[in-house]
Amino acid sequence: MITLTERAAAKVRALAEKKGGPAVLRVRVGAGGCSGLSYEFEVGSPAADGDAVFEGFGAKAVVDPKADFFIGGSEVDWTESLMASGFVVKNPHAASTCSCGKSFSTGA
């Protein structure tokens, strides 16, 4: 399971309101990125059977079992700066990450 910070949940709620869908952030793990695996985010994708679901601060985060293997126990935050804005994952399983924070490797 993953958790959302209050800032991340607020952003999920705002994006979902614009789309007219549920305040749900689906977090996936895909192949690619400079470290081997990359984080993928989709707002409004409902939970499916077998998904791990976290609910807090008026939003939900959902992760399928495959992604949960790589990012279970992670925290998703929202950050904004002059250079970039986006969801940031604090992943306890990441052995290394790229400088932009969009990809990681587990060292396995």
CATH of the domain at 90: 2.60.300.12
Phi-psi region of 93 (alpha: psi -120 to 50; beta: other; left: phi over 0): alpha
Residue 96 confidence (pLDDT)? 64
User: pTM to 2 decimals?
Assistant: 0.86
Residue 95 confidence (pLDDT)? 64
Owning domain of residue 41: 3-105
Joined tokens for residue 88: 């940031």
- The model's pLDDT over 7-44, given as tens digits with 9 standing for 90+, comes to 999 999 999 999 999 999 999 998 876 657 888 999 99
Nearest to 15 by CA among 86, 63, 74: 86
How many domains in the chain? 1
Query: Is the Cβ–Cβ distance between 42 and 30 less than 8 Å?
Result: no
Residue with tokens 């990359």: 38
